[in-house]
């Protein structure tokens, strides 16, 4: 996927933000320090504090940058659905930061934004569904978001399972083909799903 550089990414503030994402991705938020981030960025401690003030504010800026990437992904996928299938390729150098954010529990803005976007897509898709869903669109979007992001968190395991480097063009293509197959071929038939729902209902009645 080819993207046009964001003008903000040419600024010192953006360079510090990207350095923070690398540093936090390596060390985790609690162990990361403003001094360490400044060293990673190759700037003074004072410049980092001038632009962001605190480590917490810097993390918020990092999270908002990921939200911006998700918006860009959403726009690209509206034009070309293939663009939205590979979260590893989209996140690029931000993968370690994203994995830390998800596993350490402070990626709420990103996760919620992805759920919001997915909920709108699912609600639209529901209009042409042959069967009526028995769970709301937001719940389904939350689970789909978690599964999509897990590819980034579990990247090394996924690469081993696919026998492919997900950062390479070949690995990206393989992942996209696998995801296309999964999305286009349900693992359960409508009849099998209906029987499973009945079993759940019977369990709730006991």
In a domain? residue 75: yes
**What DSSP letter does each residue of 22-61 carry, written as one string?**
HHHHHH-TTT--HHHHHHHHTS-HHHHHHHHSSHHHHHHH
Residue 86 is given by DSSP the state: -
pLDDT at 53: 92
Is residue 79 included in any domain, yes or no?
A: yes
Q: Is residue 2 part of a domain?
A: no
Task: Give a yes or no: residue 37 inside a domain.
Answer: yes
Q: Which residues of the chain have pLDDT under 50?
A: 1-6, 9
Domain that holds residue 91: 7-205
CATH number of the domain bearing residue 80: 1.10.357.10
Instruction: Note the pTM of the prediction, 2 decimals.
Output: 0.75
Q: How many domains does the chain have?
A: 1
Q: How far is residue 9 CA from its own chain's centroid? A: 20
Domain presence at residue 68: yes
Asked whether the beta carbons of 94 and 17 are under 8 A apart, the reply is no
157-201 pLDDT per residue, tens: 999 999 999 888 898 889 889 988 988 888 888 899 889 989 988
Tokens standing for 116?
């919001």
C-alpha distance across the termini of the chain, in Å: 52
Query: What pLDDT was estimated at residue 5?
Result: 45
Q: Is residue 168 part of a domain?
A: yes
């Amino acid at each position: 996927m080819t993207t046009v550089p964001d003008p903000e990414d040419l600024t010192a503030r953006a360079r510090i933000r990207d350095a923070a994402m690398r540093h936090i991705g390596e060390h985790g938020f609690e162990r990361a320090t403003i001094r360490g981030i400044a060293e990673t960025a190759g700037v003074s401690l004072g410049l980092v504090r001038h632009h962001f003030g605190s480590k917490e504010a810097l993390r918020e800026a990092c999270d908002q940058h990921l939200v911006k990437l998700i918006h860009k992904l959403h726009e690209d996928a509206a034009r070309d659905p293939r663009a939205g299938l590979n979260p590893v390729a989209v996140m690029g150098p931000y993968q370690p930061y994203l994995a830390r954010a998800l596993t350490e529990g402070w990626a709420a803005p990103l996760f919620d934004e992805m759920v919001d976007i997915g909920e709108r897509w699912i609600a639209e898709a529901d209009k042409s569904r042959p069967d009526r869903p028995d769970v709301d669109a937001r719940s389904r979007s939350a689970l789909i978001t978690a599964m999509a992001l897990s590819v980034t968190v579990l990247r090394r395991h996924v690469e081993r399972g696919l026998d492919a480097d997900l950062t390479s063009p070949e690995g990206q293509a393989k992942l996209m083909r696998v995801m296309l197959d999964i999305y286009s071929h349900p693992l359960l038939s409508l009849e099998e799903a209906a029987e499973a729902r009945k079993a759940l209902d019977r369990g709730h009645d006991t």
